[in-house]
Structure 1
Amino acid sequence: MAYTTQMDAARKGILTPQMARVAEKENMDPKALMELVACGKVAICANKKHTCLDPEGVGSMLRTKINVNLGVSRDCKDYDVEMEKVMSAVKLGAEAIMDLSSHGNTQP
């Protein structure tokens, strides 16, 4: 691989598949997006180990995204309630879900 991060690729003039997908979703010229990534005005959320997820762009000149934070804690330990929140977030079209669990087992 000729790059390590999306920013590294953009700075080298390499349009990655993730950049192309984000440009498509944002109805934006891919080269314009690549310039924003290169100068740090846009971050592309994509993990090479999570291939089933669609990359998202966050930053300047892009749509506002919905991010849902949830998780179990010492005071709120109900895993099933948190999973209901996940399902609602997916149903309502959230682009990102972050597990901020700070206590106990977070696996079913």
Structure 2
Amino acid sequence: MEQEQKKEWSTQMEAARLGIVTDQMKIVAKKENRSVEELLPLIAEGKVVIPANHRHTCLDPNGIGSMLKTKINVNLGVSRDCKDYNVEMQKVLSAVNLGAEAIMDLSSHGNTQPFR
């Protein structure tokens, strides 16, 4: 298996298909008590995803999919009908305090930067 070579791939799936083990894959393997050798084919086949690419450098990688632990995902966001930023920020804080692995901003209206 090759070590991480960022110029050859953009997604974790692309890296796995090239046989490249990324730092994110190593972290997920450790968190899931699995070997990288077990995860690599699952990632290559799309049975496991690691939402991490070159543009997302400030994240704690988690694996989602077959043979992995269940994750908590929180969806939030402002819209034309629900514009209360304070309520949405409280959701963010609650999600972090409760240990959510992922927070998805589905805002469709107004200033979304406070959540991101």
Q: Is the shorter-chain TM-score for this pair beyond 0.5, marking a shared fold? A: yes
Which residue pairs with 1:67 in the alignment? 73
Checking the alignment, whether the CA contact within 8 Å between 1:15 and 1:31 is kept in structure 2 is no
Aligned partner of 2:61 among 33, 55, 60: 55
Deviations 1:77-104 (A, max 9, x none): 1101100110000000000001111112
Aligned partner of 1:3 among 2, 9, 22: 9
Gaps of 5+ in 1: none
Checking the alignment, whether the CA contact within 8 Å between 2:10 and 2:54 is kept in structure 1 is no
Question: d(CA) in 1 for partners of 2:113 and 2:8?
Answer: 36
Gaps of 5+ in 2: 1-6
Number of corresponding residues: 108
Superposition TM-score, scaled by structure 1 size: 0.92
Aligned partner of 2:24 among 14, 18, 28: 18
Confirm whether residue 96 of structure 1 aligns to residue 102 of structure 2.
yes
Which residue pairs with 1:76 in the alignment? 82
Q: What is the RMSD computed on CA atoms of the aligned residues?
A: 1.2
Work out the percentage of aligned pairs sharing the same amino acid.
Answer: 71
Deviations 1:17-46 (A, max 9, x none): 111111011010111101100111111111
Summarize the alignment of residues 30-49 of structure 1 with structure 2, pairs less than 5 Å apart.
30-49=36-55
Distance 1:3 1:49, change over 3 A: closer
